[in-house]
Amino acid sequence: MVVFIIVKAMVMIVFSLKSKDVAVLNSIHSTLKLGHISRPSDGYYTYAVSARPEIMILFQIFNGRLLLNKTNHRFVEQWASKINSAYGVNLFYAGPGLFKGFATLAGFTDSDGSFGISVSHVNSITITWSFEKSFEKPFLDYMCSTLGVGRGKYPSKGDFSNDAWRFKVDSISDSIILYDYFSKFPLFTNKASIRNIHWKQVLNWQLQGPSVVRANLHRIREFQRINALLTVYKRVSTNQCFINLRYNG
């Protein structure tokens, strides 16, 4: 979340991330060695950068590495133009970044990804991995072809805006590929990590056969219950923003 505050005709440019998962913010703070962390009255920890030299460093970190069109638009309108105006400089926008396949995946998952488990009325088990927020379709198509897994899914009417799409993986073969990836690159946030543990365990049972799945059905339902609580927690955190710095955007 980018905040601009007018103080006595002076523009103060602030970059901030809000989360209840303070370990994530501590990791970002220790990696960048910029800004500070505070805990306001609403219970969310806030990582904020406002000093001019540090804002300039962040600009260089983000410039040319952001992937989505909507994010790049905000970066140009809310950062590049404001920084140039406020600081009297002439910074150039480097354009959007390149999606680097699996090297970028953990950051997206920590920010917007979801590991899902569903149990049908006949006790059929399905596991999914998806991005909960919408993506521009050209980027989504490129992402699917680059990863070689998943598919674009147009949400049912009323789920998102008219131009919104969702990236989804729900086949066993594709899930095995993701399993290997996330075993090598663990996630940062507690919510994503816990759901990933549940997702991996259910996939392991599925690979062992239907009898193993049936024997562990009570545990799968318990995973569902915990995941639902984590989903509620995430919806409360609608202003949370996370950028996985390990994978450049």
Domain boundaries, the chain: 2-87, 101-247
Which structure tokens are listed for 139? 């980027």
Secondary element (H or E) of residue 113: strand 113-119
CATH code of the domain occupying 2-87: 3.10.28.10
Give the CA angle between residues 80, 86, 91 to the nearest 5°: 35
Count Cα neighbours of 82 within 13 Å in the Cβ-side half-sphere: 22
Topology of 101-247 in CATH? Answer: Endonuclease I-creI (3.10.28)
Q: Would you say the CATH fold of 101-247 matches that of 2-87? A: yes
Please give the Cα distance from 164 to 48 (Å, whole number): 30
pLDDT, position 127 = 93
Which structure tokens are listed for 89? 């400089």
Sequence-distant (≥ 6) Cβ neighbours of residue 202 within 8 angstroms: 117, 125, 127, 213, 220, 223
pLDDT, position 15 = 83
- Mean pLDDT, contiguous 10-residue spans, the chain (249 residues): 45 78 87 89 83 90 86 85 86 87 79 86 90 70 82 59 72 92 85 91 95 95 88 42 31
CB 119 within 8 A of CB 220: yes
